[in-house]
C-alpha cells in the first residue's frame, strides 16, 4: 500500500553484506529506571545506506534506546560507536557532531519562533556578536530543494501543520550534516498520504548515502519501507531479520511474545436514535468557525467512527459532547430531549460517558489515587456521601470491585495514578465511565500510546458496551482502529462531517481522500476506491 517493498526497489541497499563497516554500533547497552529495565544488553548495528525499522510495543524500550544514542540519557553500561569512533555518553552535542540527527516524537520546536530560528539554534558560537541569517537561509533553501522538504523559513512554527513541523525537524538534522537519521514514531501524527510522502523522502535520503533508523509499532510501515528490522520486547532484542525474509505475522508474534489477542465482534443490530446533533456551529476566535453546521446521528448498538486529520474540529466535537463548550448555533438532542444548557454535569445527567484523549490532563488527576480518580463522578451520590461527608469505606469497596472487574494493575487503590502505565490509566477511565452505564459514550483517541494487548482490551470494552445497547462516538486518527471497530465512519474536515459510510464499504485510501478534503461527497470517494481496488 505504501509503495513496493524496499528489497524489490533495487538500489544501493540491496547488496549490502557483512563486508561493509556499520556506521553505527550499539553494544551491550543496559539502562534501568529504578526497578524497571528499560534496555537490557541491547546490541544493534546500522549499515551504511540502510533503512532500519526498530519495532516494539509501547514500553518496549525503543525510545529509551534512541535517547541513549542521542545523549538524552546516559546508559548504565554499554557502548555506542558512530563511524568507528566511541561516542561520549550523555551529550547531544557530541552526537550531533558525530553526524547523528534525531527527529523526536514530541517535536523539539519553539512555537513562537520562526523555522529559521529553530534550525539555526546552536549552530553558531554563543559568543558571536551577530547572526548570519543570510547564509543560513541560503543553506536551508538549498537543503529544501535537494530533499523536496518545502516549508516557509520565515513562518512561525505555530502556524505550521504537523506534517510541516516534522519537515522542520528533519531539516534541523540535515542542516547539521546528519549522516544518520533517527525518527521516533514519525508517522504517528500523519495522514496516510503524508506518511507515504515521508517515506519517499527518507528513501531519497538513503539513496543519497544517509542511513535511517525509524521507530514504529506499525507493521504495515515496516513491511513497506524498511530494509531490515529489529524487534525489542521488554528492553531486549528478541528478533532481527531482513524485511524481505520475514512476514508481518512473524513480527507481530515477536513484538507481543504470543499470538495477538483478537476482539470478537457481535452482529450489528439496528438500534434507535439516541443522539442527534443538528447544524451545530461553534465559532472560535479565528475567521473560520471551529464547527461549521455539523450534523451527527447516533443510534444505540452502534459505534460511529470519526476520522480526520487532527485540528479539523475533533477536539471541539469532543468538548461539545463533554459539555465543555456551548454551541453558538444548532441543537443537541439526547434521547429525544433537547439539551438546553450544556455543561459537564448536564451531559453526565443525560447519560453521556466521556473518555478524553489527554489521559493525565483532563481524564485523570495524576497525583491523586486510583480510589479518588474512580470516585470523581459518584462521590456526591447519596450512597457515597451523607450530609457532605464522604463515605470512604463504600467508595473504597466500589473502587476495589472496579479494579478487579476491569483488571487495572495497581499495587492498591491508594496508589497515585501517576505511577500507572498508559494502558492501566485507560482501563481506569473506562471503569469510571462504564460503571455509570452510559447510553452515549464519547471516546477520543482511546488507544493512543497503548500496546497491542491494552488496545485489544479497549476495543473489546467498546464493542461490549455497544452490544449492551450504548451508542459510541469514537474519534480516532488511527484508520485501522476505525475500520476494525466502527460500524459507520464519518470524516471530519474543516469543522463539518461527511455523510456516514459503512465501515465495511471503505478502505484507507478512500478515507484518506476524504481526510484531505479532496472529495465533497463520500459516495464519490468510495466509488473511486472501489474502482482502484478492482
Partner 1 sequence: MDILSFFLETGFWMATLRMATPLILGTLGELICERAGVLNLGIEGIMAAGCMAGWTWVYMGGDLWTGVLFAAFIGALFGLLHALFTVHLGLSQHVTGLGITMLAASLSSFVFRMLLPSATTPPKIVPFQPLAPPLLADIPVLGQILIGQTALTMVALAAVAVVSYVLYRTPAGLAVRMAGENPMAVEAQGLSVFAIRTWAVMAGSALMAVGGAFLTMSAFDAYYIGMVNGRGWICIALVVFASWKPGKALLGCLLFAAFDAIQMRVQQQSGMLIPYQFYLMMPYVFSIIALIVMSRRAAYPKALLIPFRKGER
Own/partner contacts of 62-67, CB < 8 Å, gap of 24 or more, are 62/184, 62/215, 62/232, 63/105, 63/184, 63/215, 64/31, 64/38, 64/39, 64/235, 65/26, 65/29, 65/31, 65/38, 65/39, 65/232, 66/102, 66/182, 66/184, 66/213, 66/215
- Judged by CB, which is closer to partner 1: 131, or 154? 131
- Judged by CB, which is closer to partner 1: 104, or 519? 104
Q: Are 319 and 502 in contact (CB under 8 A)?
A: no
Q: Give residues 155-214 in contact with partner 1 (rule: CB under 8 A).
A: 172
CA distance 139 to 115: 13
Q: Does 117 bind partner 1 (CB under 8 A)?
A: yes
Size of the site for partner 1 (CB under 8 A): 37
- Judged by CB, which is closer to partner 1: 91, or 362? 91
Q: Extract the C-alpha cell encoding 93.
A: 552535542
Determine the 3-state secondary structure of 323 from DSSP.
coil
Q: Are 466 and 445 in contact (CB under 8 A)?
A: no
The CA-based dihedral angle spanning residues 412, 414, 419, 423, taken in that order and rounded to the nearest 10 degrees: 60
Q: Where are the alpha helices (DSSP H) in 232-354?
A: 248-256, 314-322, 344-349
Q: Does 460 bind partner 1 (CB under 8 A)?
A: no
How far lies 324's CA from each of 177, 278, 304, 344, 494, in Å? 47, 18, 21, 6, 20
Near partner 1 by CB under 8 A, which window of 105-113, 191-199, 346-354, 406-414?
Answer: 105-113
Other CB atoms within 10 Å distance of the CB of residue 404 = 10
- Judged by CB, which is closer to partner 1: 158, or 468? 158
Sole residue written with cell 542511513: 211
- Judged by CB, which is closer to partner 1: 73, or 214? 73
- Closest distance of CB 67 from partner 1, Å: 8
- Closest distance of CB 93 from partner 1, Å: 3
Q: Give residues 347-386 in contact with partner 1 (rule: CB under 8 A).
A: none
Task: Identify the residue among 111, 328, 358, 414 touching partner 1 (CB under 8 A).
Answer: 111
Q: Does 110 bind partner 1 (CB under 8 A)?
A: yes
Q: Does 486 bind partner 1 (CB under 8 A)?
A: no
Task: Identify the residue among 60, 120, 473, 491 touching partner 1 (CB under 8 A).
Answer: 120
Task: Identify the residue among 8, 35, 85, 127 touching partner 1 (CB under 8 A).
Answer: 127
Q: Give residues 29-88 in contact with partner 1 (rule: CB under 8 A).
A: 67, 70, 72-74
Q: Extract the C-alpha cell encoding 148.
A: 523536496
Helix, strand and coil content of the chain, in percent to the nearest 5, comes to 35, 25, 40
- Closest distance of CB 142 from partner 1, Å: 20
Beta bridge pairs of residue 387: none
Near partner 1 by CB under 8 A, which window of 111-119, 206-214, 404-412, 492-500?
Answer: 111-119
CA 18 to chain centre: 35
- Judged by CB, which is closer to partner 1: 117, or 194? 117
Q: Does 533 bind partner 1 (CB under 8 A)?
A: no
Task: Identify the residue among 91, 204, 281, 516 touching partner 1 (CB under 8 A).
Answer: 91
CA 23 to chain centre: 30
Task: Identify the residue among 24, 52, 87, 96 touching partner 1 (CB under 8 A).
Answer: 96
- Judged by CB, which is closer to partner 1: 92, or 505? 92
- Judged by CB, which is closer to partner 1: 71, or 471? 71
- Judged by CB, which is closer to partner 1: 104, or 398? 104
Could you list the residues that contact partner 1 (CB under 8 A)? 67, 70, 72-74, 90-97, 102, 104, 106, 108-113, 117-118, 120-131, 172
Amino acid at each position: 500500500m505504501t509503495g513496493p517493498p524496499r528489497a524489490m526497489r533495487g538500489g544501493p541497499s540491496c547488496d549490502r553484506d557483512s563486508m561493509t563497516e556499520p556506521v553505527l554500533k550499539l553494544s551491550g547497552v543496559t539502562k534501568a529506571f529504578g526497578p524497571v529495565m528499560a534496555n537490557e544488553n541491547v546490541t544493534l548495528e546500522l549499515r551504511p545506506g540502510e533503512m532500519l525499522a526498530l519495532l516494539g510495543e509501547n514500553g518496549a524500550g525503543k525510545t529509551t534506546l534512541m535517547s541513549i544514542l542521542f545523549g538524552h540519557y546516559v546508559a548504565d553500561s554499554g557502548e555506542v560507536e558512530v563511524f568507528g569512533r566511541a561516542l561520549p555518553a550523555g551529550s547531544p552535542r557530541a552526537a550531533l557532531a558525530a553526524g547523528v540527527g534525531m527527529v523526536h516524537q514530541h517535536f523539539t520546536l519553539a512555537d513562537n519562533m520562526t523555522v529559521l530560528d529553530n534550525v539555526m539554534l546552536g549552530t553558531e558560537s554563543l559568543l558571536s556578536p551577530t547572526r548570519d541569517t543570510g547564509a543560513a537561509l541560503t543553506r536551508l533553501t538549498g537543503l529544501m530543494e535537494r530533499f523536496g522538504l518545502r516549508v516557509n523559513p520565515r513562518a512561525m512554527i505555530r502556524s505550521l501543520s504537523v506534517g510541516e513541523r516534522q519537515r522542520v525537524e528533519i531539516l534541523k538534522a540535515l542542516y547539521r550534516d546528519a549522516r544518520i537519521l533517527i525518527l521516533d514514531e514519525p508517522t504517528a501524527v500523519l495522514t496516510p498520504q503524508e506518511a507515504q510522502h515521508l517515506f519517499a523522502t527518507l528513501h531519497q535520503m538513503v539513496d543519497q548515502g544517509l542511513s535511517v533508523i525509524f521507530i514504529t509499532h506499525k507493521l504495515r510501515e515496516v513491511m513497506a519501507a524498511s530494509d531490515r528490522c529489529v524487534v525489542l520486547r521488554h528492553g531486549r532484542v528478541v528478533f532481527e531479520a531482513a524485511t524481505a525474509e520475514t512476514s508481518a505475522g512473524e513480527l507481530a508474534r515477536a513484538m507481543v511474545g504470543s499470538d495477538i489477542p483478537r476482539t470478537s465482534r457481535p452482529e450489528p443490530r439496528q438500534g434507535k436514535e439516541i443522539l442527534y446533533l443538528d447544524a451545530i456551529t461553534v465559532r472560535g476566535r479565528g475567521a473560520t468557525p471551529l464547527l461549521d453546521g455539523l450534523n451527527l446521528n447516533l443510534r444505540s448498538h452502534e459505534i460511529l467512527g470519526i476520522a480526520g486529520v487532527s485540528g479539523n474540529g475533533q477536539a471541539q466535537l469532543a468538548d461539545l459532547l463533554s459539555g465543555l463548550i456551548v454551541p453558538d448555533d444548532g441543537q443537541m438532542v439526547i434521547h429525544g430531549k433537547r439539551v438546553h444548557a450544556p455543561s459537564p454535569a448536564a451531559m453526565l445527567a443525560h447519560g453521556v460517558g466521556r473518555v478524553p484523549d489527554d489521559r493525565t490532563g483532563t481524564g485523570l488527576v495524576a497525583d491523586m489515587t486510583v480510589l479518588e480518580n474512580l470516585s470523581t463522578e459518584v462521590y456526591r451520590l447519596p450512597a457515597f456521601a451523607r450530609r457532605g461527608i464522604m463515605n470512604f469505606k463504600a467508595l473504597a469497596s466500589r473502587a476495589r470491585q472496579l479494579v478487579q472487574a476491569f483488571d487495572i494493575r495497581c499495587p492498591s487503590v491508594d496508589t497515585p495514578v501517576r505511577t500507572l502505565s498508559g494502558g492501566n490509566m485507560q482501563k481506569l477511565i473506562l471503569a469510571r465511565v462504564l460503571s455509570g452505564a452510559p447510553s452515549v459514550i464519547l471516546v477520543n483517541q482511546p488507544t493512543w500510546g497503548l500496546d497491542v494487548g491494552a488496545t485489544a482490551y479497549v476495543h473489546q470494552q467498546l464493542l461490549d458496551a455497544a452490544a449492551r445497547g450504548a451508542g459510541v462516538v469514537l474519534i480516532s486518527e488511527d484508520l485501522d482502529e476505525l475500520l476494525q471497530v466502527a460500524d459507520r465512519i464519518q470524516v471530519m474536515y474543516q469543522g463539518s462531517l461527511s455523510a456516514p459510510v459503512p465501515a465495511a464499504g471503505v478502505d484507507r485510501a478512500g478515507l484518506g481522500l476524504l481526510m484531505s478534503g479532496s472529495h465533497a461527497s463520500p459516495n464519490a470517494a468510495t466509488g473511486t476506491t472501489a474502482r482502484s481496488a478492482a
